Amino acid sequence: MRRFAHLGAVVATTAVLLPSLAAFNPAQAPSAPSERDGQDPLVVEEIGPAAVGPDSTVRIEGEVTNTTGGALEDVSVRMRYSGYPFQDRSRLGDFASAEGPADQRTPAYGPEAAVDGPLEPGQTAAFSIEADASDLKLDGFGAYPVAVEALAGGEEHLATVRTFIAYEGADGAPSPVDIAWVWPLMDYPRRTDDDTFLSSDLAASVGPEGRLGRLLAAGAQDPDLDLDPDSEEGTAPPEPASPSPSASADDESGDGDEDGGGDGEEADRTPVTWAVDPGLLADVERLASGSYNVLEDTDVPGEGETLPVRTVEADPGARVWLDRTAAALQDAPLVATPYADPDVPALLEAGLEDDLNAAVRLGGDTLQRTLGREADPAYALPPGGLVDTATLDYYADQGAETFLLSETALPPQPWVEHTPSAAAPLEAGGGEATGIVVDPGLTEALGRPSRAHGEAALAQQRFIAETAMIGGEHTGEDRTLVAMPPTTWNPGTEFASGVLEASEDLPWLSAVALSDVEPPGGESERRGPAGGDATAETRLGKEHMERVDGIRGTVRLFNSILVEDDADPYRPAVLRAESAAWREEESRAARSLGLIGASVRNGLASVRIVPTEPVTLASKTGTIGVIIANDLQGDDETVRVKLSMFSENPERMKVDDYQDEMEIGPGQKTTVYVPLEARINGRTMLYLSLQNTQGEPISSEETITPVNASGLGYQAMIISGIGALVLVAALTPRALRKWARKRAAALGEAPADGGGDGGAEGSAASAGAVGAADPGDGDGGAEGASGDGSARGGDAPEGGGEADGAAEAADDAPGSDAGDGGPRDGQAGQDEKDDGGERTESGASDDGEDARSTTGASDDAPADEAPADGGPDRKGDQ
């Protein structure tokens, strides 16, 4: 927070600057019609004449209304005044703003008029006061204070209205003072992006009763000017008026055409120089050119939210106003700001001269397009009328030679006690230039409320009093005043027309063209611009400029994706954000900046990746399609973007090469096909974003697409199948052996069919023996079991089922793994083998299935591994 001492200094400085800056207050909102709590008890509707002469009759007319709860008896209105004029111009404002009953500033009593009554509550009655000027005994030329009082019951005060009268004096008015008019057609920026308006106020403003409609009609001084789009005359612009003294830069004295070239009506027009902001003309043109959007919500949308708008059809009244303006200004003197009246000192301080140059170019193009003409480049309208060295130099580089300034920029010399002439020399761009000061007192008087009932007469008298005070200063030198209303002036029609007429009618004024205002000879009565940074206290603040910088950054990113190198669709929006109109409108400026920023972000978000459902890959490789949309609709909004995609886990899911850059026309879509390779089944996230061609992301958010890999492909399936077959082949023999042993053990628990002895003897055989006896031959079974440990599974005889049981029993028999005499029985074993082999061939021919089972069982005890120890002993036992 700033310290209180510094805050006090700022407040004091502001109090000094405000009167001088009133004429250059571009952020002043158009005032609404004055609305009061009920009716005013006293309204003054007319005061005349404008210039009171010695033989004049002063007339004051108006109405009295009973705003109390009871009836009022003996209601009257009287005039109070002072017989001595004001001696100081500053006293005019103090007197006009005073409240309460009349006081010592109006000590003299004038005539009193009774009001027909009694007045019931809410009842209104008219009054009229007349006084001969000679009876007032006014003390010479000047402006005099007047108080109009409404009384009840003799002395009960009801209301007081303060105003002025101007008296010529017995000797007549002094030599007239020249007055030049600068008539503003300006406003604060009305749009966010080019198609979206902050409100519907501008459409109402260009109508016949709207602010801009009234300004145009009064400034054009054309009683036939019609702004009603529904009238027959309003269907086409009138023929441009021929050059007249009020429009010519060479002859605008208002004295008429001595050669008979102009008519009397044109000769009576007061010379006016129009001051125009091209940004306003562009806003009105957009109203007329087609349907547009109007914001419906005052809140700034959040990130990713769209602007809440409603669509409105083109406004025919805007086209009529624009056509009438072009006709009225066709040959009139015209000065203009750059587009949207930028805050030149603030932009120069921020190093944004490129933006200023763009505003100058865009302003010139807009004037040509809407009015069909150029402004006078020799005149500059610095914002707020304040300049520093950098500002003067910049305007001078643009061709400016004359600057319309505030009195703060060119104050009077300390020794000057009167209102000095408006023009003074100054230096700009290393050369000589002219500064023209807009009179702050006149600006304040013109800015008085003038639209409600009775306000126009009071505002008119204030203006008359201001000029009379200046005229009565008796300097003996020729002087020129420059009158310029506030840049967002919102006057009543009667008042706006009345002040121009007064410039011609008042004997102490002489209306001239702005081009006639030149510095007087001799020593200048004004000081030059102060050194240092004279604009620091008034220009746009740091916070505002930082927000503008953020908008400019987003616009730069947006422009980087456009194919057209010179395309810059948001340039006007940025210039509107840099307008000096936001200097004093902090809340409105904050909202406007927020909406402009949201509009630019939404434009950038219009180039987007269309979200898709999760993707499933049924094989090791696959392709996904990414849809990219360009929702922009402008003819020059073809974009070139780059798609960036990466996997959260490249070991699981690999993104292969794809066409990452593409060009998309406005309102079109394209699909990018991206190959993928899955290395592991499962879910993997892919992150997608759009970038410009330099690799800068154009969005702060990434699109996430989940990809599910559910299969690894045919090759992987073949490899897996082969592996499974190998595993089955390896495990099958062991499983079969185990099954055979269990089966043989189960069968060995009962005597073998047809061979009891053989079965018994076979059960006592060694572990490697195979019972191969014929089931019908008991001896054969015994012989088979008496052999050595050699296995002959492949030679199993018929009836191998019983032999398997014997073999299983032999495996489990004690001592089957050890025996003596193996070598001694070798030959016997070989003989038995031969004999058994023959039986195997015979048996195999009878029951091959049992033979295969036996073969499987014999594999578990190969002959070469059977122990020889114990063989003879077991044989001997048998």
Predicted confidence (pLDDT) at residue 573 exceeds the cutoff of 70: yes
What residue type is assigned to position 34 of the chain?
S
Same domain, 827 and 753: yes
Instruction: Mark whether 599 and 611 lie in a shared domain.
Output: no
pLDDT of residue 818: 37
**Which H or E element spans position 625?**
strand 621-630
Query: What average pLDDT does the segment 551-579 reach?
Result: 93
646, part of any domain: yes
What's the number of domains the chain is made of?
A: 4
Look at residue 571 and tell me if it is in a domain.
yes
Mean pLDDT of the residues in the chain: 79
How far, in Å, are 355, 377, 462, 615 from residue 394 at the CA level?
13, 13, 38, 60
Could you tell me if 862 and 816 are in contact, meaning their C-beta atoms sit under 8 angstroms apart?
A: no
Q: Answer yes or no: is pLDDT of 753 > 90.
A: no
What is the per-residue pLDDT across 289-339, written as a single tens digit (0 to 9) for each?
Answer: 999 999 987 677 766 677 788 999 999 999 999 999 999 999 999 999 999
Residue 406 amino acid letter: S
For the segment 132-156, the average pLDDT, to the nearest whole number, is 93
Residue 548 in any domain: the answer is: yes
The pLDDT score that the predictor gives to residue 620 is 85
pTM > 0.85 = no
User: Is the torsion defined by CA of 399, 402, 405, 407 positive or negative?
Assistant: positive
Assign 3-class secondary structure to 522-580.
CCCCECCCCCCCCCCCCCCCHHHHHHHHHHHHHHHHHHCCECCCCCCCCHHHHHHHCEH
Provide mean pLDDT across the span 396-406.
96
Helix locations, 260-414, DSSP H: 264-267, 278-289, 316-328, 344-349, 353-370, 389-397
**pLDDT tens-digit series, residues 95-125:** 999 999 999 999 999 999 999 879 999 999 9
Instruction: Specify whether the CB–CB gap between 759 and 781 falls below 8 A.
Output: yes
Residue 840 lies in a domain: yes
Give every strand in the sheet of 615-617, ordered side by side: 615-617, 703-709, 682-691, 639-647, 661-664
Last residue of a domain, one of 554, 585, 603: 603
pLDDT given at position 750: 44
The answer to whether residue 178 scores a pLDDT higher than 90 is: yes
Q: Are residues 828 and 695 in the same domain?
A: no
Token pair listed for 343: 């805050």
**What does the pLDDT average to over 528-553?**
86
Distance CA 502, CA 714 (A): 98
Same domain, yes or no: 150 and 101: yes
In the prediction, which pLDDT does 212 show?
A: 97
Contacts of 356 (CB under 8 A, 6+ apart): 338, 342, 344, 347, 348, 394
User: In this model, does residue 425 exceed pLDDT 90?
Assistant: yes
Pair (749, 764) in one structural domain: yes
Q: E strand or H helix at 415, and its extent?
A: none
What are the tens digits of pLDDT across the range 330-361? 999 999 999 999 999 999 999 999 999 999 99
Residue 696 has pLDDT above 80, yes or no: yes
User: How wide is the angle at C-alpha 859 spanned by C-alphas 855 and 863, nearest 5°?
Assistant: 105
Only one residue has tokens 């003409």, namely 373
Determine the Cα–Cα distance for residues 211 and 204; give it in Å rounded to an integer. Answer: 8
pLDDT of 563 over the 80 cut: yes
Segment 617-632, tens digit of pLDDT: 888 888 899 999 999 9
- Of 824 and 502, the structure prediction assigns the larger pLDDT to 502
CA nearest to 571, candidates 544, 600, 538 = 600
Residue 733 belongs to domain spanning = 726-877
Higher pLDDT, 363 or 532: 363
| pLDDT for res 249 | 38
- Dist CA 483 CA 184 (whole Å): 11
Residue identified by tokens 């060995």 is 748
pLDDT value, residue 711: 58
Q: Is 819 a residue whose pLDDT tops 80?
A: no
16/33 Cα distance (integer angstroms):
28
- Assess if residue 14 is contained within a domain: no
pLDDT digits (tens, 9 = 90+) for 451-507: 999 999 999 999 999 999 999 997 778 899 999 999 989 999 999 999 999 999 999
Domain presence at residue 527:
no
Kindly report, residue by residue over 577-604, the tens digit of the pLDDT. 999 999 988 888 888 898 898 889 989 9
- Output 293 or 789, whichever has higher pLDDT: 293
Which of residues 494 and 252 earns the better pLDDT score? 494
Alpha carbon separation from 560 to 556, 596, 634, 667 (Å, rounded) = 6, 19, 16, 18
How is 474-507 classified by DSSP, letter by letter? --SS--EEEE---TT----HHHHHHHHHHHHHST
CATH of residue 645's domain is 2.60.40.10
Same domain, yes or no: 653 and 750: no
Question: Which has the minimum average pLDDT: 95-109, 359-373, 532-546, 548-562?
Answer: 532-546
pLDDT exceeds cutoff 80 at 393: yes
Task: State residue 812's pLDDT score.
Answer: 42
Does residue 701 sit in the same domain as residue 838?
no
- Which strands sit side by side in the sheet containing 402-405, from one edge to the other? 379-380, 402-405, 431-437, 423-428
Q: Is 769 helix (H, G, I), strand (E, B) or coil?
A: coil
Are 693 and 744 in the same domain?
A: no
- The domain boundary, picked from 677, 712, 747, lies at 712
pLDDT band at residue 15, thresholds of 50, 70 and 90? very low
For the chain, give the percent of residues with pLDDT over 70.
74
Distances (CA, A) of 311 to 282, 321, 637: 19, 21, 22
Domain stops at, among 550, 577, 603: 603
CA 646 to chain centre: 31
Question: Which residue type sits at 189?
Answer: P
pLDDT band at 255 (very low <50, low <70, confident <90, very high): very low
Contacts of 478 by beta carbon, 8 Å cutoff, 6+ apart: 175, 178, 421, 520
pLDDT band, residue 722 (cuts 50/70/90): confident
- Whether 402 maps to a domain, the answer reads no
Residue 877 burial by Cβ neighbours in a 10 Å radius (0-12, 13-18, 19+) = exposed
DSSP category for residue 407? T
843 and 779: one domain? yes
* Cis ω for the linkage preceding 229 (within 30 of 0): no
Q: What is the pLDDT of residue 245?
A: 35
Q: Smallest Cα–Cα separation from 561: which of 634, 645, 656, 655?
A: 634
**Most confident among 23-27, 721-725, 772-776, 864-868 (mean pLDDT):** 721-725
> 448 lies in a domain?
no
Please check whether residues 70 and 152 belong to one and the same domain: yes
Same domain, 747 and 839: yes
Are 688 and 743 in a shared domain?
A: no
Residue 614 has pLDDT above 50, yes or no: yes
Residue appearing with tokens 């009801």: 158
